[in-house]
Amino acid sequence: MDLGITGRTALVTGASRGIGLAVAQVLAAEGVRVVGAARTVTPELAEVAAATVAVDLSTREGARSVVERAIAEVGGIDFLVNNVGAGDTDGMVLGGFLDSDDEQWQRIFDLNLFSPVWTTKAALPSLLERKGAIVNISSINARMPGGAPIGYAEAKAGLTQFGKRLSEELGPLGVRVNTVSPGVVTSPLWTDPKGFGGKVAELFGVGHSELLVALPTQLNMASRRLTEPAEVADLVAFLLSARAANIHGADYVIDGGTIKTA
């Protein structure tokens, strides 16, 4: 299937690993010139990106500067993938509402909600000029907050609504906005023993590998397996493409059947 995106440009945030890296790889394979932004640029990202930017996207200045760099490197932005999210697990409390402090709320909202807001605002003039497309990477935790760190599900719910609002405003102007909401993905967030998955395993007193094996059953996933980053990336690429020209304001869940409601 020809996606019709060869020769276009894309800014992908949080692109050094996991879903963001997979998106950069898929788009580059389709002939898109990708600018990959992340706090740390990995060799895997540098291999596929037309340009990379090492930046702290949790700050307004970082989000704005990455758009300026992207436009300077590739001449303009056709596609924006707001993938950056989650955050450092070191200071992340997995307990209840009273266990988390105000700083955790601020850190999580800055990275998972405000960073996409700041990046989108900066990129919008170029996207409007080129009649481009935006995909925001949210989470099924926006719909089912249980098990997520305090603040994360709330920020992702805000991101999902942000995408819907943008779609209503920008659709008539020629810019499409859609959301992708993954469930548990085999990204380093879960597969790295020092990441979020490792903290969850520690919380429940089980081994990290044991947790990963048990998750599909524990979550009652219809597929009985976790989602691969490349599967999310394929969906993102389709939503950016000409094949999805009349898809506006949608929220696509890719979770192996974790969510049971319609």
Catalytic residues: 152
What is the rounded (10 degree) CA torsion for 115, 121, 127, 128? 160
Per-residue b or e along 111-134, where b marks 16 or more CB atoms closer than 10 Å to that residue's CB: bbbbbbbbbbebbbebbeebebbb
- Note whether 30 and 99 are within 8 A (CB): no
Angular region, 80: left φ>0, alpha ψ -120 to 50, beta rest: beta
Element spanning 58, H or E:
none
The pair of three-digit structure tokens given for residue 35, joined into one six-digit string: 């600018």
